[in-house]
Chain A
Amino acid sequence: KAGVTQTPRYLIKTRGQQVTLSCSPISGHRSVSWYQQTPGQGLQFLFEYFSETQRNKGNFPGRFSGRQFSNSRSEMNVSTLELGDSALYLCASSLTVAKNIQYFGAGTRLSVL
């Protein structure tokens, strides 16, 4: 069974641009969560989707948004990029809600210049 797939693996953008990251969960998993990892703040929760509905949201500005499709694939979007958005963005999937075991993808490393 394939694991969690995140695309692209690497991205370089400039300030003010927007970016879309994609996450395909493990087959059969319906919950997808997103996390941001930076050297200064560590791993922080962004949001969680289940059955196309956002169930939970972390403490991030409205420039960070996401959605989930009927096949459970999820995208997150960051608009008006800032230098501080440079980070490793990790996606995790679980069978139902996040209390179950979460499995992570390899991440997308975003650099904002």
Chain B
Amino acid sequence: DQQVKQNSPSLSVQEGRISILNCDYTNSMFDYFLWYKKYPAEGPTFLISISSIKDKNEDGRFTVFLNKSAKHLSLHIVPSQPGDSAVYFCAASRTQGGSEKLVFGKGTKLTVNP
């Protein structure tokens, strides 16, 4: 039972263009969502997050959009840079006093071509 789904295993974009990574979830109890970036042989690095009370959160080139009714979120990277090439994981949790576990998707491998 996969509660967080990233249906695109890979995505390739040109440098300077927009990258859009998508994520769907099934558990309506999730109310906090995160994106992590992972390079090979390294641990995941926290990128950006969004609470369910918002529909958008922006941090520099990275913007996360949340559509609660569709149980869908997306990460936009504008403009994309070659250094953004990595695997991106979507994660979700239920915030009940903190310390709730994260449920991760399988990841999308982003390749940004120079």
**Do chains A and B interact in one complex?**
no
- Name B residues whose Cβ lies closer than 8 Å to a Cβ of A: none
